A and B are shown apart, each in its own frame.
Chain A
Amino acid sequence: MLLLSCVLQGAEAGGFILIQDTVKCTGRGLLKCFINAALKRGEDVHVLGFESPETEVCAGLDRSCVQKLHFHKGFPDPLGWTRRSSFTVERFASQHITQLIKDTQQAKASVLVVDSLSLVLRHHDPLVFCQTLQELRKGGVIKTIIGLLHSDLHQQGIVGIVCYLASTVISVAPANNERHSVAKTTRRTKSGKVMQEEEYFSVCKDATLSVQAKPRQPGHVQKERDVSEADPTSNLTFNLRLSEEERKAKEKVALPFVFSQEKKSALLKPTPGSGRIVYEPDDNDDFDEEDPDDDLDV
């Protein structure tokens, strides 16, 4: 089964699923598919909607299970400027969220969807944000957290931290044709195994996902190397091989610029009969008998 479909079906329950997008390709469609899949499984879904209106988030969702969706209005007033929101970004803390979920229905492990984590990160310290996420995961009230992050609006380090916290990271990017997009899914299971896949996907109008495997690049197939290499000196009209004596003679040849022992001793002992230098100092010359290099500590 394709990895993205696996993650969508909630094959490994729980965890923190991060959907990363950029301006080139939005991840909101994929987020909607996750919401729809959770609703169809009969799970309670709580959406903290800070960036999009409720109508947009709920459009296309399965009508029969929409009552299990609880949209907590951040948008159109995520910061509380007009006092029309039921949940502001400022209240993104584990105690407030836990209380919000407990107030809504009977304590059954729910799915928490955050749209978007980018707006939360804009107004919270990254460390506090990470702590909140960890507390929510371990709290017991929330089974799965699904968040949308616009990775091109934050520093790489911040994006890295959030990815590290996630058990599954799905990065979306545009594909060559307009009808599909590419999703790179990285999933870490509880046992520590990491699975990574790149797949094509498209979001249908009824918020269902259609996933296709990405064909492998043809150029990446590795050919097997020949075990025995052919001997290049065979089958020639001239002789490139050496006999035993020829090989020994070759090894004995002293190479011209190699400083061997014989050359060294030849240079150090000057042969008699070589030229001499006779120096007769002029009146103006300052001739010093002493060796100028005497004081060198060599």
Chain B
Amino acid sequence: MFPELNSILNSTPDSFKSSDFILVSDRRADASFLIHHHLSFYLRGLDHNVSGQGVSLAQAREKGQLVFLEGLKNSIGVILQEDTSQETQPLSYLRTPGAGLEGLFRFVERSVRQSGDGDAGESWGPPVLLIDDLSVLLSLGVSVGAILDFTLYCQATVCSELQGNMVILVRCEEEDADDDEEGSNLLRRGLVHQCNLALHVEGLPTGYCRDIHGQMEVWWRQGEETIYNQRKIFHFKVHDKGASFFARGTSSAVL
């Protein structure tokens, strides 16, 4: 979890906006550090007993706080038709080309509704859905329309109904004039229309730099009843213990 990012987004694990759909995207850069931030952010929010730097994912998984679907690992089994059990229902779209993601949504719905009831009867509160990363579905042959339908349903269930949050990662390719028909950029545009907050990570337009790893655009889209449409760009540097964010031109290398 990155404290500087928390202050930029004006949220803490103790008080954050619920019913939010946050879109994380990247182009020629790696935005997965933002997914890690959100994962530890929300786990910290659930369990105030977490101390020190780290959040133990294994422990969270055991307690039932964290439910993991290993999409890529399980998809091989589905494609080779080895395993036709209940567990692989979410990935049934791989067998029927042109099918929607209704099965995958049913898995998500089951998981988020169950998460309210923990082992010892404790309720973890509103659910959080993290998807890393959605563009893999494109390479598996799912159409952009089907993915947008899936995310709309996830948003309806997780955010609107259960007042939880959703964070989705999408990887984009280079902007291309021919790219308008299908592809990651079209998917990203569709998701930006749906989301409340969009974080987009790209390399610096001027090229590679040792002290600044890239730029992140924060786009506040809309709240429950208000429409913001405010964009700001920050520079960031990722290091071992986390990442630091700063306004453009204020890197310690420059000042």
A interface list, Cβ under 8 A from B: 22-23, 25-26, 28-29, 51, 53, 55-56, 59-60, 75-79, 81-82, 119, 122-123, 150, 152-153, 155-156, 174, 178, 203, 205
A81–B153 touching, CB < 8 Å: yes
Given the known A-B contacts A25-B229, A60-B225, A76-B160, are A150 and B193 also in contact in the complex, defined by CB atoms under 8 Å?
yes
In angstroms, Cα B160 to Cα A21, docked, is: 23
In angstroms, Cα B102 to Cα A152, docked, is: 25
B contact residues around A152 at 8 Å (CB): 189
The secondary-structure label for the interface of chain B is: helix
B161 within 8 A of A: yes
A153–B186 touching, CB < 8 Å: yes
List, sorted by A's number, 9 A–B pairs whose CB atoms are closer than 8 Å: A22-B189, A23-B192, A26-B229, A53-B160, A59-B225, A75-B160, A122-B148, A203-B227, A205-B226
Contact for A78 among B152, B180, B181, CB less than 8 A: B152
A contact residues around B190 at 8 Å (CB): 150, 153
B interface list, Cβ under 8 A from A: 100, 102, 105-106, 109, 145, 148-149, 152-153, 156-157, 160-161, 180-181, 186, 189-190, 192-194, 221-222, 224-227, 229-230
A contact residues around B230 at 8 Å (CB): 178
A contact residues around B186 at 8 Å (CB): 153
B contact residues around A156 at 8 Å (CB): 180
A26–B227 touching, CB < 8 Å: yes
B156–A75 touching, CB < 8 Å: yes
Closest beta carbon of chain A to B116's beta carbon, Å: 17
Contact for B193 among A23, A59, A78, A123, CB less than 8 A: A23
B153–A174 touching, CB < 8 Å: no
B contact residues around A28 at 8 Å (CB): 222, 227
Q: A26, A119, A123, A174: which has the most chain B beta carbons within 10 Å? A: A26
Contact for A23 among B153, B157, B181, B189, CB less than 8 A: B189
In angstroms, Cα B224 to Cα A272, docked, is: 104
B180–A155 touching, CB < 8 Å: yes
In angstroms, Cα B185 to Cα A152, docked, is: 10
Nearest residue in A to B106 (C-beta to C-beta)?
A81
B contact residues around A123 at 8 Å (CB): 145
B229–A174 touching, CB < 8 Å: yes
B contact residues around A56 at 8 Å (CB): 224-225
In angstroms, Cα B251 to Cα A57, docked, is: 43
A contact residues around B153 at 8 Å (CB): 76-77, 79, 81-82
In angstroms, Cα B229 to Cα A203, docked, is: 13
B contact residues around A75 at 8 Å (CB): 156, 160
Closest beta carbon of chain B to A198's beta carbon, Å: 19
A contact residues around B148 at 8 Å (CB): 122
Nearest residue in A to B102 (C-beta to C-beta)?
A81
A contact residues around B181 at 8 Å (CB): 155
B152–A51 touching, CB < 8 Å: yes
Nearest residue in B to A29 (C-beta to C-beta)?
B227
A26–B222 touching, CB < 8 Å: yes
In angstroms, Cα B230 to Cα A152, docked, is: 19
Q: A25-B229, A77-B156 are in contact. List 18 more A-B contacts (CB 8 A).
A: A22-B189, A23-B192, A26-B222, A26-B227, A26-B229, A29-B227, A51-B194, A55-B224, A59-B224, A60-B225, A76-B160, A77-B153, A79-B149, A81-B102, A81-B105, A122-B145, A122-B148, A150-B193
